[in-house]
Structure 1
Amino acid sequence: MGIIWYILIGIVAGFIAGKIMRGGGFGIIVNLIVGIIGGVLGGWIFGFLGFHTTSILGSLLTSVIGAVVFLWILSLFQRPKVDHP
């Protein structure tokens, strides 16, 4: 049952991070990938700062924060959009 919770938390975290950073989700597969990477990154960041979560809500918060940081890092590598008349 644990892996199902990780997948669900990853999907929800990726969706929430997509809403925060871009204003919309990316689709279920990309949300899952962003959420999983965000969970790992958030866990590393929180562990580095000395914080540890044990509940599902704490894991979701950690994953969302990590996913937002991940999307922000990705946005640094995108070229700026240029509007042409």
Structure 2
Amino acid sequence: MHLNTESLLVILLVGVVAGWLAGQIVRGAGFGLIADMAIGIVGALIGSWLLPQLHIALGSGIVPATANATIGAIILLLIISVVRGGGRRNFWRR
């Protein structure tokens, strides 16, 4: 697979947006721009694997890709929070 500059910029943009959204949804999970981007990109990988396993199809395009990455990033942030000892409380913003 060959990525051109435009594809790479779209992937990074989706990663930044998804990481930021997940950080806003999950309490105390914002890690800064670079870490949020990495969490968003890893979240996109998690979401693109997990959602088809659950027979969930969001569609194609940038908005469904961002939603998919955000769902994966939220799952990743919840796992990070549990591993770091945050427990199950105080995940969601009120």
Q: TM-score range with shorter-chain normalisation? A: 0.7 to 0.9
Deviation at 1:14, TM superposition (A): 0.3
Match of 1:37 in 2: 42
* Structure 2 segments unaligned to the other structure (5+ residues): 1-5, 88-94
Q: CA RMSD in A?
A: 1.8
Q: Distance in 1 between matches of 2:41 and 2:74?
A: 12
Encode CA deviations 1:4-49: one digit per residue, 9 max, x unaligned: 0000000010011011112563211001100001000011111212
- Aligned sequence identity (%): 33
Whichever residue aligns with residue 64 of structure 1, its letter is T
Aligned equivalent of 1:70: 76
Structure with the largest fraction of helix: 1
1:47 and 2:48 correspond: no
Greater than 3 Å deviation, 4+ residue runs: none
Q: How far is the alpha carbon of 1:69 from its aligned partner?
A: 0.4
Paired residues in the alignment total 81
Gaps of 5+ in 1: none
The CA distance in 2 between the partners of 1:39 and 1:53, in whole Å, is 14
Provide the TM-score with structure 2 as the length reference: 0.77
